[in-house]
Amino acid sequence: MSAPGTVYGVGLGPGDIDLMSVRSDRLIRNARYVAFFRKKGRPGQARRIVEGMLPDGVVEIPMEYPVTTEIPLSDPRYNEILSAFYAECRAKLRALADAGEDIVVLCEGDPFFYGSFMHLYTRLKDDIPVQVVPAITGMSGAWTATGAPITWGDDVLSVLMGTLPQDELISHMKAADALVIMKIGRNIDKVRDALRVAGRYDAAWLVEFATMPNQTVTKLSAAEGKVTPYFSIIVVHGQGRRP
């Protein structure tokens, strides 16, 4: 029997291919099998990032989410449906690896930072070789786009999800020196209200499509009524100790 292949969770970074690591670039350009997550009917951002990088003859394996925002996170069916989906994806990758094939799984940002790949990693790592290639996160690209450091001295940084209940958002916003708020989308009004209550609203920046050609950076207060895209992050800079 041949040795099993390896599944590589390859971080693509925030979106600009110039910010991708040399190792990620090498694995992608030499891949025989490339897998990536996407919403049904969409090309997928991970696949879009590597356009023009894949070698001739590569076999692409799109993994299409069965549900995204159609069911509330609190609905028990949400986890049941996604769990079955990840089990199906695991089976596909495991079969290829058992046949001795290496598979590159494209991961937006960093694979271990709120990414879908980690759900495959935990299901595969005890059975076949799995390697993770870290990358620059989207939030790093976002705060760099503002032109100001996110933390100084002893500042405490909190990364919050807009999906959290408003009272939890307020509590974290009040406690931290610097903030990164992700998964904004349809939660934008809740996030705005929480920032106002926490006294952080006027210091907040909205960064859309960080590091991508259509990047925009605006004060959140100047974007009232604006519908935020999927690729949007809110940043509040720390103002801590400095020489």
Tens of pLDDT, residue by residue over 157-194, are: 999 999 999 999 999 999 999 999 999 988 999 999 99
CATH code, residues 139-236: 3.30.950.10
Residue 228, CA distances (Å) to 25, 45, 208 in order: 30, 17, 8
Q: Domain 7-136, what fold?
A: Cobalt-precorrin-4 Transmethylase; domain 1 (3.40.1010)
Average pLDDT, the chain: 94
pLDDT score recorded for residue 71: 67
User: Which residues are registered as beta bridge partners of 195?
Assistant: none
The Cα–Cα gap between 179 and 66 comes to: 32
Are both 7-136 and 139-236 of the same fold? no
- Per-domain residue ranges for the chain? 7-136, 139-236
Q: Which residues of the chain have pLDDT under 70?
A: 1, 68-74
